[in-house]
Structure 1
Amino acid sequence: HLKTGSAYYAPSSAAVEMVDAIVKNRNRILPCSVWLEGEYGLNNVYCGVPVKLGSNGVEKIIQLNLSSKELNALKESADEVKRNIKKLNF
């Protein structure tokens, strides 16, 4: 149990920001876990990336200009997610 409650506050605050962006069609750019279909060279995997959130939910996936080192790290992370899901027999 954490004394500050930060383990509850941060995720709750993020959820409130997401709901606000969708309900009020704010078109805010926020980090979200989304299904990628070619973005960042990744396919068939959920990954945390910046997106524009509006009244239709994810309006657009924002593709940042990542360095080759950053892109490789993202791909390694996505590959690890896929390996772990495969272990669960999904």
Structure 2
Amino acid sequence: MSRIEIVERLKQYFITEVLDGKDIGLDESTPLLEWGVINSLEIVRLLGFIQQQFGVEVPADDITAEYFSSLLSITDLILMHEKAARP
């Protein structure tokens, strides 16, 4: 899956599941933590979505503000673990 496709899936997830259908102008660099879009409870839900949609389990060591700061950083996290899981 391409980087653009992952960003778009994540954006749609946030709009439908977190923002109750409101598109507040999210883009790949929107500061999710600063804008209050994501919090610790939402991270737990997001991890389930990532596992279901992308087949990626994020290790506890990578559950940091750095990796969940924007759609792009989450995408990078997914791609990093997706590549590591490939034989």
**So what's the TM-score if we normalise by structure 2?**
0.31
Is the radius of gyration larger for structure 1 or structure 2?
1
User: Relative to total residues, which structure has the larger helix share, 1 or 2?
Assistant: 2
Relative contact order (alpha carbons < 8 A, sep ≥ 6): 1 or 2 greater?
2
